[in-house]
């Protein structure tokens, strides 16, 4: 019942806050099949800019700052980092030393290709503690019965 309540709450929240602007899809009206697909692609990509892998560092200044602390969020631990200052520049120290970027779906799963868009997708690349990220490696997310490492 708890899962159903959570699902309904999240669904309602998305509906309430994700209002499509009036006229947003007008150019796709009356189209079908390939023409509809093309029209929708044009609608959702107009004004869209592709960032680079390096550009993610800049994006984190607005996407991943904890408003309570002004520091970078970490998805794996309770560590926090100063933007740019604590950025991993090739050396991973102990936990809470610096942060890097983590693919939610490991890059190695698609052959390690460093190409757009998957390699620089801000939705699937998040700042993480470098040490903890290295502990995860390219393992899938899931429940683990006997973890080999647990971050605070």
- Per residue in 102-132, pLDDT tens? 888 777 777 766 766 777 888 888 899 999 9
Which domain, by its residues, includes 105?
A: 55-136
46's CB contacts (< 8 A; 6+ apart) are none
Does residue 150 lie within any of the structural domains? no
Do the domain assignments include residue 90? yes
Residue 1 forms part of a structural domain:
no
Buried b (16+ CB within 10 A) or exposed e, 120-133: bbeeebbbbbbbbb
Residue 111 covered by a domain: yes
What domain count does the chain have? 1
Q: Is the pLDDT of residue 144 over 90?
A: no
Residue 66 included in any domain: yes
97 in a structural domain? yes
Q: Which residue has the higher pLDDT, 71 or 53?
A: 71
The pTM is what?
Answer: 0.67
What does the pLDDT read at residue 43?
Answer: 92
Question: Per residue in 26-61, pLDDT tens?
Answer: 999 999 999 999 999 999 888 877 788 888 888 899
């Amino acid at each position: 019942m708890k899962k159903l309540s959570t699902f309904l709450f999240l669904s309602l929240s998305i509906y309430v806050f994700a209002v499509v602007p009036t006229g947003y899809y007008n150019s796709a009206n009356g189209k079908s099949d390939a023409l509809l697909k093309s029209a929708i692609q044009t609608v959702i990509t107009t004004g869209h800019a592709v960032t680079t892998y390096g550009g993610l560092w800049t994006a984190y200044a607005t996407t991943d700052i904890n408003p309570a602390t002004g520091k970078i969020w970490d998805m794996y631990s309770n560590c926090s980092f100063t933007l740019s200052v604590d950025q991993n520049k090739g050396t991973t120290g102990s936990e809470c030393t610096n942060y890097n970027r983590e693919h939610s779906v490991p890059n190695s799963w698609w052959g390690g290709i460093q190409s757009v868009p998957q390699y620089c997708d801000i939705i699937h690349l998040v700042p993480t503690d470098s040490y903890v990220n290295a502990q995860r490696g390219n393992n899938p997310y899931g429940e683990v019965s006997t973890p080999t490492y647990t971050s605070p």
